[in-house]
Amino acid sequence: MKHLLSIDDLGPAGIEEILRVTDSFVEVSERAIPKVPALRGKTVVSLFYEDSTRTRLSFETAAKRLSADTMTFSVSSSSVNKGESLRDTVETIEAMGIDAVVVRHRSAGVPWRVAGWMQASVINAGDGWHEHPTQALLDCYTIRSRRGSLQGLRIGIVGDIKHSRVARSDIAAFAALGASVSVIAPPTLLPPSLDGWPVQVAPSLDAILPDLDVVYLLRLQRERMTEALIPSLREYRACYGLTASRLARLDPDALVMHPGPMNRGVEIDAEVTDDPRSVITAQVANGVAVRMAVLYLILGSGAELRLPEPVLSGTRA
């Protein structure tokens, strides 16, 4: 595997292989000394053009536990403020001799462009509204570790589907592993068309809630909303929030998930996160192990995971 750009590049077999290798890194993470020498001498750069706490820290923790060196690029303290272009920044970083770049950018497709400009491996850590593949992998891992498999599970994704890269990657990954995925959202927060998406639209959260094996709550992304898409946060909570009274109607074996950061009191009530069905903390812990597996498969394992190479646009001749 050279890059990890989107879930579709992996296919069901690729996802399963990453989850299998993740099991080994969960064991590593539980040790007294949670570090292995597998990627000694490799350098991983996190290139984040957008704010992030958990994804960046998770990738850096993963790289360090594999004994790789890490460098962090944050836009606020870089030459981007002097007007340096993305391409010049990428080429400067590459000239320092690095092995992988973890890219987050507000525009969809940036990781593909970056992959076309450099020899190093590129991992997509979120591009605009488009994809966030490692989030989807850690979500699959979390569900699999609680329920054994995703085959036949009914998963409801609630909230801002339109602006959510997590939703796009999760839908592709959950469907690839055999789950039946529904989306529940105000019509203004659904994409203009769901043609070709392996999902159904559920009429309301209350109607579908008792049938769900997994409730996946998305963050209401106020920073991406340029127009008034919902009447008020109070009304959103009343129709789409996972409140304590809705939690009571959820199956005893169901899981409650959220990619973070949470708007408590909007999409999720504070007491819901304390319920044993909430696996939100497990998602974060599994995130480190999944990212160790991805980094190891890209930088350490050799060409064992035989996946179709993604088509790169803008590749230099």
Partner 1 sequence: MAERERAATPPRGGVFVPRTTVMDADDLRRAATRIAHEIVEHNHGLEQVALIGLQTGGVWLAHRLHEILLNIDGTDVPLGSIDVAFYRDDIGLRPVLPEAVTDIAFELTGRQVVLVDDVLFTGRTVRAALNALNDYGRPHAVQLAVMVDRGHRQLPIRPDYVGKNLPTRFDEQVDVSADGVVIGDVRPR
Query: Which residues make up the interface to partner 1 (CB under 8 A)?
Result: 21, 23-24, 26-28, 31-33, 35-39, 66, 296, 300-304
Please identify, using beta-carbon distances, which residue of 117 and 296 lies nearer to partner 1: 296
CB of 112 to partner 1, least distance (A): 26
Of the two residues 27 and 235, which places its CB atom closer to partner 1 in the complex? 27
Q: How far is CA 9 from CA 18, 99, 255, 302, in A?
A: 13, 20, 27, 18
What is d(CA 246, CA 57) in angstroms, rounded to the nearest whole number? Answer: 33
Q: Among 56, 113, 130, 132, which one carries the catalytic annotation? A: 132
Q: Which is nearer to partner 1, 95 or 303 (CB)?
A: 303
Catalytic residue among 42, 104, 113, 219: 104
**Minimum distance, C-beta of residue 33 to partner 1, in the bound complex (Å):** 5
Residue closer to partner 1, measured from CB, 68 or 199: 68
82 is catalytic: yes
As measured in angstroms, the least distance from the Cβ of 142 to partner 1 is 17
Specify the residue, 28 or 108, whose C-beta has the smaller distance to partner 1. 28
How, if at all, do strands 214-217 and 199-201 pair? unpaired
The order of strands in the sheet holding 100-105 is 69-74, 43-48, 100-105, 121-127
Dmax of the chain from CA atoms? Answer: 59
Whether 132 is catalytic is yes
**Residue 64: CB minimum distance to partner 1, A:** 14
Measured on CA atoms in the order 313, 137, 188, 281, is the torsion positive or negative?
A: negative
In the complex, least distance from residue 38 CB atom to partner 1, rounded to whole angstroms: 4
* Active-site residue list: 54-55, 82, 104, 132
